Amino acid sequence: MKKKILIAAMAVSMAFPVVCRAEDDIRVYLDGARLEFDAAPVIRDNSALVPFRKIFESLGMEVGWNGEAHTGTAQKDGLAISVVTDSNVMRVNGKDVNLITPPIIMSERILVPLRAVSEAAGADVLWDGDARTVTITSEEALLENARREVLALTNAERAKYGLNPLTLDDRLTAAADAHCDDMILRGYFDHVNPDGKSPADRLNDAGIDYMMMGENIAAGQRSAEEVMTDWMNSEGHRENIFNPDYKSIGIGVRRGGEYHMYWAQEFARFK
């Protein structure tokens, strides 16, 4: 198990019922919107299979198909997935992932196991057997939910001491996300990036005019509750969270890298 790490910068001035058959009554929702397929989902070996192109394009991926090799590909933002019909191995960024149920061709469509491919794309999948409904939450929605949870938990802690709630600021959030992305891309964990830029430098470079600012970062925590617990158990992080002079906050949340989840809080009071 990867360890969790965090640093504070001080302020500065499915399981499904076994034969292969169409299941017209299976409903699939992605981020609250129902997906309509040009070929009905089927059940095979306790797995739901759906059309390859539709599910990956709905997840925001660019899709390709090699008819000679019977291989489908999907790509987005550094993520590459490939599947081969009748093969129990899926490739995710060059690594083999075993499938319980292989992709198949039916009615001139390649059908892929819904849970496996959705989770490979970073999504969460839930199956409600009574309602015969699959609910998919995309990675983007999961990260946005986590961001909102961190904001709510931060303001709940401040409220205990009569402090004003912080307002989520888009510019600070973009800076926080960018720092998480940079730590993942360049394989480091620090307030100061490999170019020697501090949190204050990065806000200046982003054109953010502030009177004072501070930063919390963390890595390895799997949820908003977990990262907030770790920050609240650290004196330096609590000082930023409880600073009464801060009015705005940006919250970064990203998946990937050595620690799998990276978090950042950018605190500021603007001029």
Sequential pLDDT tens for the chain (271 residues): 445 666 655 444 333 333 344 445 789 999 999 999 998 888 888 889 999 999 999 999 999 999 889 999 999 988 999 999 999 999 999 999 999 999 999 888 899 999 999 999 999 999 888 888 999 999 999 999 999 999 999 999 999 999 999 999 999 999 999 999 999 999 999 999 999 999 999 999 999 999 999 999 999 999 999 999 999 999 999 999 999 999 999 999 999 999 999 999 999 999 8
Helix axes 224-232, 139-159, angle to 10 degrees: 40
For the record, the structure tokens of 104 come out as 């198949």
Q: Nearest-CA neighbor of 138 among 60, 219, 249?
A: 60
- pTM score of the predicted model: 0.83
Distance from C-alpha of 144 to C-alpha of 149, rounded to nearest angstrom: 9
Which tokens is 119 given?
């989770």
Side-chain half-sphere exposure of 155, counting CA atoms within 13 A: 15
- Token pair 């360890």 is at which residue? 3
Q: Provide the b/e sequence for 250-265 (b: ≥16 CB within 10 Å).
A: bbbbbebbebebbbbb
Q: What is the dihedral of CA 60, 62, 67, 69, to 10 degrees?
A: -100
Coil, strand, or helix at residue 184? helix
